[in-house]
Chain A
């Protein structure tokens, strides 16, 4: 069975500092990895997916199959980045992602 691990419940950084939200997964097949974000009092929304290889709001994430990781990174954090971030995995043939427990990112001014 697939599993998504986000080891940090809370990550606190200052504005302008680099940020890395960790995500590790366990899945025997070829996974699809995603990052979702939930800003305060807003709905969950897709931030980025590994197949797109895109940068959204300055965030990037690279799938490392050797380390089974999909860490989310941003070189310079902004206050508006404060939110809950969820890493998610979809196994082949499924429409349903499995979510990690989430990491709360707080960016201090």
Chain B
């Protein structure tokens, strides 16, 4: 199956700083990438959908100025958490699909990034 990587896998940052998380599709072109937030033992909350070369679509309640998403190429999307606060500490997961392959094409998930804001 296709592989999606995330970097870093774990990051600690100080409150008020910004941190960037990368999501890469390693062996396929991802027209669309999704960013999720997962709380311990809870469901995945979709934050935003990004399409290559266009602005991301954010879900209701997600601050687009705080969670900056860029999908500059068919293999890379980045999520930047700006002015991070302790409440932003979470597990962030990306997933990727190539919609040109049709609706039944599987959505592949990255391993996730653990963000801890101190």
The interface of chain A, by Cβ under 8 A from chain B, is 9, 42-46, 51, 84, 86, 93, 95-97, 99-102, 104
> Please, which residue of chain A has its CB at the minimum distance from the CB of B104?
A51
B76 at the binding interface (Cβ < 8 Å): no
| Nearest CB of chain B from residue A50's CB, rounded to whole Å | 12
Q: Per-residue CB proximity of B87-116 to A under 8 Å, as 1/0?
A: 000000101010100011011011110000
Quote the shortest CB–CB distance from B74 to chain A (angstroms): 16
Compute how far the CA of A42 lies from the CA of B41 in the bound complex, rounded to whole angstroms: 14
- 15 pairs of residues in contact across A and B, judged by CB atoms under 8 Å: A9-B41, A42-B111, A43-B109, A43-B110, A51-B104, A86-B43, A95-B99, A95-B103, A95-B107, A96-B34, A96-B49, A99-B43, A100-B43, A101-B43, A102-B41
User: What is the total number of residues of chain B having a CB less than 8 Å from a CB of chain A?
Assistant: 21
Pair count A-B, CB < 8 A: 38
Kindly list chain B residues whose C-beta atoms are within 8 Å of the C-beta of A101: 42-43
- Say whether B44 faces chain A, with CB atoms less than 8 Å apart: yes
* Chain B residues within 8 Å of A104, by CB: 41
**Nearest chain B CB to A42's CB is how many angstroms away?**
7
> Would A45 and B109 count as touching, CB distance under 8 A?
yes
